[in-house]
Amino acid sequence: MKKEYIIPVFVPHLGCPNDCIFCNQKSISGQKKEMTKEEVQKTIEETLKQINDIEAEKEIAFFGGSFTGIPEEKQEEFLQCAYEYIKQGKVNSIRISTRPDYIDKTVLKRLKKYKVKTIELGVQSANDYILARAGRGHNFKQVQKASKLIRWYGFTLGHQMMVGLPESTRIDEINTAKALIKLKPKMIRIYPVLVLKGTKLEKEYQEGTYDPLPLVQAVETSKQLVRMFADHHIDVIRVGLQNTDEIADPTSSKSEIVAGPFHPAFRQLVESEMWYDAIVGKIKKLNVKVKEVEVTVNPIDSNNVIGHKKANVTKLKELYDVELIVKQDKTIKQGKSKIQITKTYQDFKEK
């Protein structure tokens, strides 16, 4: 299988007149100045130099801000620049992210002209009250309309949703996932809300009107969402914001995070919990007291089975008195496993 590379180009806050309560695009993208065509080119060139694999699939991704809200001439400039690399065969596709209310037929025709393949929509919630409370400036009907139009024009559709917005509960987030599944996105990003410096949410947090989700709760909800999307064959391409100098542990001097469920390995926490549930589920189904369980997985999954700082090994020992043995087997598909009970309490006693 060909390796896939993303060439990220950040267009922070460019074209976005909104001020969502949680957003400080400049912190999220780790970039403070506005993008120019020359800089887009420079970023692409520099990233391409680092990819030596000629066969690999390469995608230029305009992240941050709301791409289709940028003045038209600027959009054309950026797209033209990216399209040149497609024409030269150096890059395979283009991806953009934007708001649902910045999608219409004219916009989509323009994106088609430059061979954009994927459009990611910032949805955040399917609940209009929560959207309004977060200052999103659009409603869920607009998400539905934009999603249908995007698919109708033949683009690959992606969604982004949040966990822990003000006044949002786990039920709201599960309902959002259900509503999004109906819109048939190909991929999804799940972001737990972090309180960033300079945002309205920071003010609410300081005033005591917003309580961020504790890490365990954010992990628990994200786990349920990942499972729901996976059950519907929707790729969960990100869980948690990408770590940068600014999106880092709040104790670091450069960090822009004031509070919230930040963890440098957030996705690993979620996936480890899912493996833990699978192992415990298997043990509970048996009518014997298990002493040792052997889990064989693809090498890519083995750290997640063991858990962050061996969390699953420790939990199984402490809660169930079960030893966890993890084995690797390249022939097992990623995400699949062979779970075997290798010792029961009876064997142990006889020994």
Pick between residue 19 and residue 277 the one whose CB is nearest to ligand SF4: 19
Cα distance between residue 9 and residue 78, in whole Å:
10
Is 20 an interacting residue with respect to ligand SF4 (CB under 6 A)? yes
Is 139 an interacting residue with respect to ligand SF4 (CB under 6 A)? no
Pick between residue 193 and residue 326 the one whose CB is nearest to ligand SF4: 193
Residue given tokens 């797209």 in the structure block: 79
Cα distance between residue 184 and residue 151, in whole Å:
9
Sign of CA dihedral 48, 49, 52, 55: positive
Q: Note the Cα 251 to chain centre separation in Å.
A: 23
- Helix, coil or strand: residue 98: strand
State the nearest-atom distance from the C-beta of 137 to ligand SF4, in Å: 7
| Nearest to 191, CA basis, from 334, 339, 330, 28 | 28
Residue span binding ligand SF4 (CB under 6 A) among the ranges 17-25, 32-40, 194-202, 223-231: 17-25
Pick between residue 126 and residue 305 the one whose CB is nearest to ligand SF4: 126
Size of the site for ligand SF4 (CB under 6 A): 11
Residues 90-119 that bind ligand SF4 (CB under 6 A): 99
State the nearest-atom distance from the C-beta of 107 to ligand SF4, in Å: 15
Q: In the beta sheet, which residues pair with residue 61?
A: 8, 95
Cα distance between residue 311 and residue 275, in whole Å:
11
Residues 306/324, Cβ–Cβ less than 8 Å = yes
Is 65 an interacting residue with respect to ligand SF4 (CB under 6 A)? yes
Residues 66-85 that bind ligand SF4 (CB under 6 A): 66
Pick between residue 58 and residue 99 the one whose CB is nearest to ligand SF4: 99
For residue 54 the two structure tokens come to 């000629």
Is 23 an interacting residue with respect to ligand SF4 (CB under 6 A)? yes
State the nearest-atom distance from the C-beta of 24 to ligand SF4, in Å: 8
Is 18 an interacting residue with respect to ligand SF4 (CB under 6 A)? yes
Q: In the beta sheet, which residues pair with residue 337?
A: 297
DSSP structure string for 330-342 = TTSPTT-EEEEEE
User: From the list 122, 158, 212, 240, which residue makes contact with ligand SF4 (rule: CB under 6 A)?
Assistant: 122
Burial of 280 by CB count in 10 Å (0-12 exposed, 13-18 middle, 19+ buried)? middle
User: From the list 7, 9, 11, 16, which residue makes contact with ligand SF4 (rule: CB under 6 A)?
Assistant: 16
Residue span binding ligand SF4 (CB under 6 A) among the ranges 14-22, 154-162, 226-234, 333-341: 14-22
Is 303 an interacting residue with respect to ligand SF4 (CB under 6 A)? no
Is 211 an interacting residue with respect to ligand SF4 (CB under 6 A)? no
Pick between residue 122 and residue 212 the one whose CB is nearest to ligand SF4: 122
DSSP H helical ranges for the chain:
25-29, 37-50, 72-87, 105-113, 128-133, 140-152, 170-182, 200-207, 215-231, 266-285, 299-306, 311-315, 345-350
Is 189 an interacting residue with respect to ligand SF4 (CB under 6 A)? no
Residue given tokens 């992210």 in the structure block: 97
Chain contacts with ligand SF4 (rule: CB under 6 A): 13, 16, 18-20, 23, 25, 65-66, 99, 122
